[in-house]
Structure 1
Amino acid sequence: MPRRLQPRSAGTKGPPGTTAAASEAASRPHALASGDSPASAKPLLRWDEVPDDFVECFILSGYRRLPCTAQECLASVLKPTNETLNFWTHFIPLLLFLSKFCRLFFLSGRDVPFHHPWLLPLWCYASGVLLTFAMSCTAHVFSCLSLRLRAAFFYLDYASISYYGFGSTVAYYYYLLPGLSLLDARVMTPYVQQRLGWHVDCTGLIAAYRALVLPVAFVLAVACTVACCKSRTDWCSYPFALRTFVFVMPLSMACPIMLESWLFDLRGENPTLFVHFYRRYFWLVVAAFFNVSKIPERIQPGLFDIIGHSHQLFHIFTFLSIYDQVYYVEEGLRQFLKEPPDAPTFLGTVGYMLLLVVCLGLVIKKFLNNAEFCSKK
């Protein structure tokens, strides 16, 4: 991408030899950006006509002006800007997941009512999925209200992803872990049984996991939010790589499922879980690739400004990964309801989520109150 140009001041003249009319024409986009133009003339801006914090790598055009009103932000979702498909690639999945969870809670035909304690982990998980898509839509639509509000919306976006990651761990803990056969050596894969002759005793490891998984996931959720908020500062040279890495960390909470698939016959015992689990991680790898590489706009800057740039592809593959995750969480719920162990407690599910909301709120407040983290222009 070309080097960032310095914005012109009001009295800056054009290059030597330019006429007054040419200088006026050259400065007109900046007048539009500052809000001096009539409401009917609000063209999209190029990368060198907006503050640095708005500039996306290799995206040269399609930027909305700053500041916009809330009405203008909402109207922009129907216009071709470089944020339009960022909104729709998460708003449509939000509606799909809202419909899915409504069917699970209210139209599933189960004897368990929607407020039963057995469904508390599903409520935690569903709230995380819906919140992360809703916050992503909000951040992309209203990011041009002001620089401070842009930072606030994206901080909330990072916090919602951490909230979703922790909600996923709660669902794993109650619905998937009890149904795994990690303690039954009779269902080990033939390769492990015959070739290696291993005798695996996972009792201690599983007990440690059960005791530590929720506290560790809680700490990781807060730490990931702090790291991603810091990635918006000037000192961070590789913000997209950092954000991708820190959100891979909570995915390690699914390690018992991974262990089950390596050492035990998960494909034979639970093919639904096996297929959806590994397909989910394939989608996540693809999403991470686009988020870090900035392909295809890196190859041809300017060609994919409106349609087809990496963040839109990142959104699509993230949706596919969560789509698969919902299916194997639902399968875990079915197995859980057949022979439910001890009922989940309110403090062990919703209580944890509420405490996390408080902690994430304090993190965002700290960053917004620190001028260093809102000064990037």
Structure 2
Amino acid sequence: MPRRLQPRGAGTKGPPATTAAASEAASRPHPSASGDPPAAAKPLLRWDEVPDDFVECFILSGYRRLPCTAQECLASVLKPTNETLNFWTHFIPLLLFLSKFCRLFFLSGRDVPFHHPWLLPLWCYASGVLLTFAMSCTAHVFSCLSLRLRAAFFYLDYASISYYGFGSTVAYYYYLLPGLSLLDARVMTPYVQQSLGWHVDCTGLIAAYRALVLPVAFVLAVACTVACCKSRTDWCSYPFALRTFVFIMPLSMACPIMLESWLFDLRGENPTLFVHFYRRYFWLVVAAFFNVSKIPERIQPGLFDIIGHSHQLFHIFTFLSIYDQVYYVEEGLRQFLKAPPAAPTFSGTVGYMLLLVLCLGLVIKKFLNSSEFSSKK
């Protein structure tokens, strides 16, 4: 296998000559200035014809030219390149979720209007889902405008995933957690006393947890974005593993649901939540496997360059996981609307999301001011 196609951290880097080749490729005159044929007629490139930072592990062909114009990038979504299905496997889900949330907000037949405070957590969650798919589509389409813009788009992609993760926590906090016996002191205090023999009043502990859920999730969202942006630099030997790990961290906010299923009869009390919750995490484990292992292209480099490589499979299973999540968040909303414990506040929902956008913007600005760029998704 060519040395440049080994994963980062495998003990080798490209030969010195490839650095010069990368500089030469990046400094070529733009096609429009040299009278080259239009984008539709341009041949795709192999891994050794593009800058090193543009090469993906075990993907040998199907690369677009760098730099491309925005028009050429858009035209490429209808051509068989190694980014085409990366786009479509998130663009089609984007349209599906957009339709789903439009029905939830405007066509659901509820007495609650779309601007009611009870729906603020759903707005936060919906914006996170739609943004993460939209940003992924944008990053994959326009990643060959330039190396700097490629890095910028993927920084934004990481930030959108963190934004989505925090939006999920907001929805959990208001729609799902209040219905758990685990977070009801009237249930947990006698349970702990009977099961463990501890004479402990759980009221304070549960109150502390409720107070810390959103602040801790906020800090995790910012920290995960920082770690993923740093993973694009040369110091990181295993960027895919690092990014997969740090994006699992915010999912720890769902631990109460898992504990509820272990300690109480969640399957009997809320079968919808039980089934879709665990199926979601099964899809996430499968998605993480493909994202880290780079299978199947690792087994047969070149065979899956256009169709079937790991990033496309990662997209598909990520979509399935969010599909299940939307299902049980919607069910949680229905239960919440039957007897809302307290109206969500603007500052505790949208206010948090706006503050997160500001913090993530500062993180991205910091990394864009650095001179190190790497293209590994």
Given that 2:9 and 2:238 are in contact with CA atoms closer than 8 Å, whether structure 1 keeps it comes out as no
Q: Deviations over 1:173-218 (max 9, x none)?
A: 0000111122569989999999989999754442222111111111
Distance 1:212 1:18, change over 3 A: closer
Distance 1:40 1:12, change over 3 A: farther
Distance 1:184 1:15, change over 3 A: closer
Given that 1:222 and 1:360 are in contact with CA atoms closer than 8 Å, whether structure 2 keeps it comes out as yes
Q: Deviations over 1:134-159 (max 9, x none)?
A: 00000000000111110110000000
The answer for unaligned runs of 5 or more in structure 2 is none
Structure 1 partner of 2:79: 79
Distance 1:57 1:201, change over 3 A: farther
Structure 2 partner of 1:278: 278
Q: CA deviation at 1:52?
A: 1.4
Distance 1:272 1:23, change over 3 A: closer
Task: State percent identity of aligned pairs.
Answer: 96
Given that 2:56 and 2:376 are in contact with CA atoms closer than 8 Å, whether structure 1 keeps it comes out as no
Q: CA deviation at 1:42?
A: 1.2
Distance 1:335 1:3, change over 3 A: same
Q: CA deviation at 1:266?
A: 0.2
SS of alignment partner, residue 225 of structure 2: helix
Whole-angstrom CA distance in 2 between matches of 1:243 and 1:83: 20
Q: CA deviation at 1:284?
A: 0.2
Whole-angstrom CA distance in 2 between matches of 1:13 and 1:329: 45
The answer for unaligned runs of 5 or more in structure 1 is none
SS of alignment partner, residue 373 of structure 1: coil
- Figure out how many residues of one structure are paired with residues of the other and give that number: 377
RMSD: 5.9
Q: CA deviation at 1:10?
A: 31
Given that 2:189 and 2:201 are in contact with CA atoms closer than 8 Å, whether structure 1 keeps it comes out as no
SS of alignment partner, residue 4 of structure 1: helix
Given that 1:33 and 1:65 are in contact with CA atoms closer than 8 Å, whether structure 2 keeps it comes out as no
Distance 1:22 1:254, change over 3 A: closer
Distance 1:189 1:326, change over 3 A: farther
Whole-angstrom CA distance in 2 between matches of 1:235 and 1:65: 27
Distance 1:39 1:329, change over 3 A: closer
Whole-angstrom CA distance in 1 between matches of 2:140 and 2:88: 10
Whole-angstrom CA distance in 2 between matches of 1:369 and 1:47: 28
Distance 1:24 1:109, change over 3 A: closer
TM-score, normalised relative to structure 2? 0.88
SS of alignment partner, residue 40 of structure 2: coil
Q: CA deviation at 1:5?
A: 9.4
Q: CA deviation at 1:110?
A: 0.4
Q: Deviations over 1:219-240 (max 9, x none)?
A: 1101100110111111111000
Q: CA deviation at 1:375?
A: 10
Distance 1:40 1:7, change over 3 A: farther
Given that 2:139 and 2:153 are in contact with CA atoms closer than 8 Å, whether structure 1 keeps it comes out as yes
TM-score, normalised relative to structure 1? 0.88
| Greater mean deviation of Cα atoms: 366-375 or 152-161 | 366-375
Given that 2:185 and 2:203 are in contact with CA atoms closer than 8 Å, whether structure 1 keeps it comes out as no
Q: CA deviation at 1:329?
A: 0.5
Structure 1 partner of 2:371: 371
Distance 1:76 1:17, change over 3 A: closer
Larger Rg: 1
Given that 1:240 and 1:291 are in contact with CA atoms closer than 8 Å, whether structure 2 keeps it comes out as yes
Q: CA deviation at 1:4?
A: 2.6
Q: Return structure 1 stretches of 4+ with deviation > 3 angstroms.
A: 5-41, 183-205, 373-377
Q: Deviations over 1:62-115 (max 9, x none)?
A: 000001111111111111000000000000000000000000000000000000
Given that 2:4 and 2:14 are in contact with CA atoms closer than 8 Å, whether structure 1 keeps it comes out as no
Whole-angstrom CA distance in 2 between matches of 1:19 and 1:168: 42
Given that 1:34 and 1:65 are in contact with CA atoms closer than 8 Å, whether structure 2 keeps it comes out as no
Structure 2 partner of 1:211: 211
Whole-angstrom CA distance in 2 between matches of 1:153 and 1:206: 40
Given that 2:45 and 2:61 are in contact with CA atoms closer than 8 Å, whether structure 1 keeps it comes out as yes
Given that 1:166 and 1:250 are in contact with CA atoms closer than 8 Å, whether structure 2 keeps it comes out as yes
SS of alignment partner, residue 19 of structure 1: helix
Whole-angstrom CA distance in 1 between matches of 2:239 and 2:19: 42
